Structure 1
């Protein structure tokens, strides 16, 4: 908003959502963007690991990022649960 005062920001917080719930939210957001009919920038942020040493954080980040890049949301949630990734 500093660079573009006309920009609107819509924060969305997601915690403890299943893969199907995330898919439903994604579909709803996509529908809203289509209805808006203007360019939209989506920024996603997560501290994927909290309170652990840097080496552990890097290992966990790599596991999660692998599934993100593969566009595998179900596997991402499985990895996050199995590896105790607190994203």
Structure 2
């Protein structure tokens, strides 16, 4: 899937994640992650985001994620929504 415009999904409420997705003219996936649970779950959140992008066949995107303790299924849903909105 091609990311053609800036899109957003989620909120900055507790137990949610706010995703901003943008085209990456330089190519590749660039991920900026902020989380209140970064020390405990930062790598897992990063893995879920990247795996979801891979499953959706997104190859070029800049992703900014602001996590407030979201569970895996919420992270996947927010990433998928942002990708679909960026079409």
Same fold by TM-score greater than 0.5: no
Normalised by the size of structure 1, how large is the TM-score? 0.33
TM-score by length of 2: 0.33
Flag the structure with higher helix content.
Answer: 1
**Structure with greater Cα Rg:** 1
Higher strand share: 2
